[in-house]
Amino acid sequence: MPRKKTDAVLEAAIEPARRELLVATGGTGVGEHVGFTLEDDRLGTHWFEATFPGYRGWYWGVVVTRAPRSKNATVCESQLLPGDGALLSPEWVPWADRLAPGDVRPGDVTPKVEDDPNLEAGFEATGEEDVDAVALWELGLGRPRVLSAEGRERAAQRWYDGSHGPTAEVATKAPARCESCGYFLPMAGILRRTFGVCANEWSPSDGTVVSRDHGCGAHSEVDVKAPEPERVGDPILDDEAVEAL
Ligand code: SF4
């Protein structure tokens, strides 16, 4: 049977819909009637503006229906729904996804990421727990996972692009590079080719990873003439000013 395009009985049931809505809301937050939608045969929704503060663009929907051949509409349910341009809360993001680098404070613990692409098994796993445990013990690693190639590459890129790489302002104004500085401690492993740690307490990079082409004004081999101490004349005492104090 083709669906009806209109339903005069339901469309006319504005006041019964409003009345039930006012009962449900305790008599507040219901504004002007703004329209009617026929959802299906003998099923439609009356729409009313929501007037609660903070609910701009929201509408009350009151669902009405009727029995076949009946001239009486019945209210089924009401609901508050956002319309176009309604004020909505931001989409919920799980806590673990909300954390960003730099958010972890003393006492915070981050969740373990089982398939973290930055890490890989610290030894070749055989699948036999006893054998793997022995292998781990013999290698002396003591760590079930170590940095993967991907994790190493990401860290290297981050450091290189960051405030201790060659493009940092302090490096672009530096008289010489870290690789020729006595305070530069090269890193172990493959990262040694690009990075080291600065061990100069006078440097803004002290205790951090620096790239070989980073640099700062505290470079060990750079020198500037230390200014000679200058003697200023004897102090002039203004007796009148002293007495006035
Ligand atoms: S003192 Fe400056 S130049 Fe030397 S290693 Fe540290 S950051 Fe590099």
Task: Show me where the domains of the chain are located.
Answer: 8-82, 95-101+111-147, 150-211
Instruction: Assess if CATH 3.30.50 describes domain 8-82.
Output: no
What integer pLDDT is reported at residue 8 of this predicted model? 95
Residues 6+ apart with CB under 8 A from 13: 46, 64, 73, 75
d(CA 15, CA 198): 78
| Ligand 1 nearest atom to the CA of residue 199, by list position | 6
Inform me whether the pLDDT recorded for 138 exceeds 60.
no
From atom 8 of ligand 1, which residue's Cα is the shortest distance away? 178
Helix (H) or strand (E) holding 120: strand 119-121
Among 75-79, 86-90, 116-120, 139-143, the range with the most confident prediction by mean pLDDT is 75-79
Mean pLDDT, range 76-92, rounded to an integer = 92
Given a cut of 50, whether residue 140 has pLDDT beyond it is: no
Task: Establish whether residue 219 lines the binding site of ligand 1, counting it when its CB lies within 6 angstroms of any ligand atom.
Answer: yes
Cα 183 to ligand 1 centre (Å): 6
- Return the ∠ at Cα 73 (arms to 71 and 78), rounded to 5°: 170
Could you tell me if the CB of 164 is within 6 A of ligand 1?
no
Q: Is residue 214 within 6 Å of ligand 1 at its C-beta?
A: yes
The answer to whether the CB of 195 is under 6 A from ligand 1 is: no
CA distances from 15 to 20, 23, 47, 64, 136 (A): 9, 12, 12, 11, 77
Q: For residue 204, how far is its CA from the centre of ligand 1 (angstroms)?
A: 8
**pLDDT for the residue 3:** 57
Average pLDDT over residues 207-217: 96
Collapsed DSSP state (helix, strand, coil) of residue 243: helix
pLDDT at 179: 96
Could you tell me which residue, 55 or 241, shows the higher pLDDT?
55
Q: Are strands 74-82 and 58-65 parallel, antiparallel or unpaired?
A: antiparallel
- CB of 171 sitting under 6 A from ligand 1: no
Beta-carbon contacts of 31 under 8 Å, excluding residues fewer than 6 positions away, are: 48, 49, 50, 51
Query: How far is it, in rounded angstroms, from Cα 185 to Cα 167?
Result: 20
pLDDT one-digit tens code per residue, 157-170: 999 999 999 999 99
CA dist 180 and 210 (Å) reads: 13
Mean pLDDT confidence for 130-144: 58
- Give the pLDDT band of residue 136 (cuts 50, 70, 90): low
Mean pLDDT calculated for residue range 179-208: 94
What's the predicted TM-score (pTM) here? 0.54
Please enumerate in sequence order all residues whose Cβ is within 8 A of that of 15, keeping only pairs 6 or more positions apart, or say none. none
